[in-house]
Amino acid sequence: MKIPQKAPDMWEIVRRNPELLLMFVDPQMQDLVAKYNREYVHWEELRHRKLPVEAEKLWALIKSARTLQAKRVEFGEWTFRYVLSGDTLRRLHLLDTKGAGYLESGPGGVSVADRKRYIVNSLMEEAIASSQLEGAATTREAAKKMLRQERKPRDYSEKMIINGYQTMCRIAQMKTKSIDVETLLEIHREITHDTLEGPEHEGKFRDNNEIVVADPQDGNKVYHIPPDYQKIPSLMEEFCRFASNDEEDFIHPLIKGIILHFLIGYVHPFTDGNGRSARSIFYWYMLSRGYWLFEYMPISRILLRSKTSYSLAYLYTETDENDLTYFINYNLSAIEKALKDLEEYIALKKQENYDTMHIIETSENLNLRQADILKNLLKEPDRYFSIAEIKGKYNVAYDTARNDMQHLVKLGYVERIERGKSYMYRYKGVK
């Protein structure tokens, strides 16, 4: 990936081109500035476009308009800025208001059991995608099977995913708590356990400056040089205060959660695991501020689909005077796509459940007990059942329960796995 060219200094362009003051009030220029600010183009994009005026001059006009609208965030020795465009406000409104209706229980809605299943599925998907973003080399299908079977990890990649899943489950439980440095370190320790070259770095801030954010294929291509390690303890204390205090200089929770995500990547407080920690902190913040829908939306899966754009969002911010708007806009777009994915997923699962129930109820290959067993397996499709459970629930002989399960396996409705010296069964689907 090519490093974007650093944006030129607006004031230096104005100094060299005093006629810009007249251009600023030109209606044609105002329309052009409005157009490129709606798109929120970076200098790297603008300089390659065919324009009716010199790129630098137009950039100065664009930056002046952004500067007038920008909100400021002071952190450490840096000043970050961001602009809330009309499209940003639209997305914030959408994510503030949409989603509750189609997750409510009742006729046509989602049952409590389904809600729990969707949460488990989402936490798995988030852990897998977040680990894959950091290099975990395994397929989504294989990783989900490992998590569902509660199998021990066989390699580094699987350990990353199990750590991520356990951490996400913990984050979902700590939504009512504030965050402090100790909790931040505990999250890092859990998410990196047995995955770092040096185990002594687990749950510890980095103690050197021998780290840069570089191209994994070309270490000489440096994207970001993090702050001096000696500043990290005080910066992370400030980070936790910023995360916990919403009363002064109110920032919309979605915007603030994204800023927290960015700051972990910017400060890079850990030797490794910064990306996974940043995305975990984002989830904690959103859940802690009442955005319960985020438990159902594996956003890292969207980030993984557009990994280059995710990296560029960081670089655009840093190469344009710490303008966070690029990173905010990219993440809001990803969240909007995750919400759309959730809507489609729920609609698909509802239809699948309806179709499956119809097949079960009309099948001539099942007796009443077998049909009822299949319905119960369908209610918890991610859980494995033993023959002993089926025997106890239906008060039948062990051989009868075993024959029922073997019949369902033969028909293709149920899959069987070996667990120790016995077998476990799970709903698979319908033919």
The mean pLDDT of 51-60, rounded to a whole number, is 93
Could you tell me what percent of the chain has a pLDDT over 90?
45
Q: Characterize the bridge pairing of strands 78-82 and 71-75.
A: antiparallel
pLDDT of residue 269: 96
What is the value of pTM for the model shown?
0.82
Whole-angstrom distance, CA of residue 185 vs CA of residue 175: 17
Confidence of residue 44 (pLDDT cuts 50, 70, 90): very high
pLDDT tens per residue across span 111-145: 666 677 778 888 888 889 988 888 888 888 888 88
Annotation: CATH topology of 84-346: Fic-like fold (1.10.3290)
Whole-angstrom distance, CA of residue 277 vs CA of residue 291: 19
State yes or no: pLDDT of 1 exceeds 90.
no
pLDDT of residue 268: 94
CA distances from 424 to 4, 98, 99, 389, 394 (A): 53, 39, 36, 10, 17
Whole-angstrom distance, CA of residue 157 vs CA of residue 155: 6
Q: Which top CATH class is 364-427?
A: mainly alpha
Confidence of residue 183 (pLDDT cuts 50, 70, 90): very high
What mean pLDDT, rounded, does the chain reach?
87
More confident residue, 210 or 324: 324
Using DSSP's 3-state secondary structure scheme, residue 210 falls into coil
Burial track 175-192 (b if 16+ CB lie within 10 A, e otherwise): beeebeeeebbebbbbbb
The mean pLDDT of 232-241, rounded to a whole number, is 96
Neighbouring C-alpha atoms within 13 Å toward the C-beta of 320: 28
Sheet holding 385-386, edge to edge: 385-386, 422-427, 414-419
Q: Characterize the bridge pairing of strands 71-75 and 422-427.
A: unpaired
Confidence of residue 215 (pLDDT cuts 50, 70, 90): low
